[in-house]
Amino acid sequence: MTITPTVEITGANLIGGDDVIATGAAFQATDPTQGATLEPVYHQATAADVDRAAALAWEAFATYRHTDLDRRAAFLDSIAEEIEALGSVLTERVHAETGIPIGRVQGETARTTGQLRMFADVVREGGWIRARLDTADPGRTPVPKPDLRQREVPLGPVAVFAASNFPLAFSVAGGDTASALAAGAPVIVKAHPAHPGTSELVGRAVRNAVRTHGLPEGTFSLIHGPGNEVGTALVTDPRVRAVGFTGSRQGGLALLSAAAARPVPIPVYAEMSSINPVFVLPGSLAEHGSELGVAYIASMNTGVGQLCTSPGLLFLVDGPGADDFIRAATDAVTATAAATMLSPGLAASFAKGVDRRTDDTNVTIAARGSDDDSLAYRGIAQLFVTTADRFLDDQGLQDEMFGPASVIVRVDDAALLSRIVDHLEGQLTATVHAAPSDYPVARPLVDKLELLAGRVLFNGWPTGVEVGHAVIHGGPFPATSAPATTSVGSRAIERFLRPVAYQNVPEELLPVELRTDNPLGIWRRVDGSLRRTD
């Protein structure tokens, strides 16, 4: 397929097939490196705009949810192609709005298109439908056995809130959008106000794919707004049936409250807050103390610390190598130059978090990176140190700083680790560094960590999320609002589906996925056994 990219940035909301210049509050993106505002001017969507997007999405749902698997998969593949066709236009706009280096932008673009193609493959394979057939036995006594068949159906239109820290992979065509569209659910995206131009470019790419495949225009809409009004209007619209969100705990809880207060509450799949604890055990420390200290700070500084998996806490069990670890970590922080943060808002929030930590008498400042006042919105690396007793007495040390900062907690006795884990909030990740000599301590530690976090890592670092079929990017509250789900990987589709059983429905009225002859050729559980053919 030859793609002719749409490259205009006009400041429009994309309401179905229409470009709408809204009449709400005006705002512009900011170049976080220099502090200059970027054209064009955007306007917050009005209540009427949100209503129109929701009406179109509900109308589209009746058709889009019935698209056959090949057509839906081809649609997802086309979105990936449209995004790739934007080329340098997209790359340069992302860089201008976020300060993210070009190389990382290109990597995030590849991750975004890769996710879309992964979900296209998932759709074609059909296992996500979870088709089950229990055949009838009218001769069973004392009660005849009915014919029961089951499949998954989409919840309905999904409101997706784009993230600030991943302008592509967790944004307009990111994992939430890709998995919702894969499930058969139309999507209304609320663009993040820090990168509206990027959002518009990607939104136009999605809309081009909608048109290419002749899908209803309400299959996708993109709305803008810097305030809370648009998000609240979306979440409380009765035609919206689920929410995907990546952002702050405050923002996620506000959406949860709004969704719960509806006459008919809806699920909110919110990724919110995680400090991703790392546990370094004595054997590993003795063997690799200095090396681990350097690697720790490299992980902390990845993405200028603005990753949801950044290691915000490290528990160091004292022993040989502990001082070497801290010395290497402090040297690495001191050698770290200030770097541009993604937006003025994130830079201000990080600075406030660092000030709170600095004023906390339960910690000491171990090291600080160099400043660079030529950068308008910068993050300066920070490292703090405390003891296990002080950590256990200070709940505030679990507050996320969301930037290049972390706290080392020196633990003088490994027996304290169990109490420390019990003290921690839910997390996206938990990491253990252990040598074979540490396994007697690591075994019960991992047993507790699997109840704390969605992903448990061994001898690595939490930054970097592998997109695939086995990954979990989720976890107990407050890491997410729905700990049984993931926002990354093929299982993300499950959030926007629900099971329906069909009892004694005539063959000609059954969904095609459940018909006896299995015309789609998908894997199904028939009378308890997985099979593809009958």
Instruction: Order across the sheet with 524-526: list the strands.
Output: 497-503, 148-154, 132-134, 524-526, 529-531
- Strands 405-411 and 313-317, by their bridges, are parallel
What is the pTM assigned to this prediction? 0.95
If residue 27 lies in a helix (H) or strand (E), which one and from where to where? strand 26-30
Question: How high is the pLDDT of residue 529?
Answer: 95
**Nearest alpha carbon to residue 391 among 428, 358, 416:** 416
- Give the separation between CA 185 and CA 162, rounded to whole angstroms: 17
Which region holds residue 464: left if phi is over 0, alpha if psi is between -120 and 50, else beta?
A: left
Q: What is the pLDDT along the chain (534 residues), one digit of tens a residue?
A: 555 555 789 999 999 999 999 999 999 999 999 899 999 999 999 999 999 999 999 999 999 999 999 999 999 999 999 999 999 999 999 999 999 999 999 999 999 999 999 999 999 999 999 999 999 999 999 999 999 999 999 999 999 999 999 999 999 999 999 999 999 999 999 999 999 999 999 999 999 999 999 999 999 999 999 989 999 999 999 999 999 999 999 999 999 999 999 999 999 999 999 999 999 999 999 999 999 999 999 999 999 999 999 999 999 999 999 999 999 999 999 999 999 999 999 999 999 999 999 999 999 999 999 999 889 899 999 999 999 999 999 999 999 999 999 999 999 999 999 999 999 999 999 999 999 999 999 999 999 999 999 999 999 999 989 999 999 999 999 999 999 999 999 999 999 999 999 999 999 999 999 999 999 999 999 999 999 875
Each domain of the chain, given as residue ranges in start order, spans 40-272+486-495, 278-458
The highest-level CATH class for domain 278-458 is: alpha beta
CATH superfamily of 40-272+486-495: Aldehyde Dehydrogenase; Chain A, domain 1 (3.40.605.10)
Could you give the residue numbers annotated as active site? 271, 308
DSSP characters over 252-317? HHHHHHHHHTSSS---EEEE------EEE-HHHHHHHHHHHHHHHHHHHHGGGG-STT---EEEEE
- Give the separation between CA 255 and CA 248, rounded to whole angstroms: 11
3-state SS class at 364:
strand
Instruction: Tell me the average pLDDT of the chain.
Output: 95
Residues 205-261 pLDDT 10s: 999 999 999 999 999 999 999 989 999 999 999 999 999 999 999 999 999 999 999
Question: How high is the pLDDT of residue 532?
Answer: 86
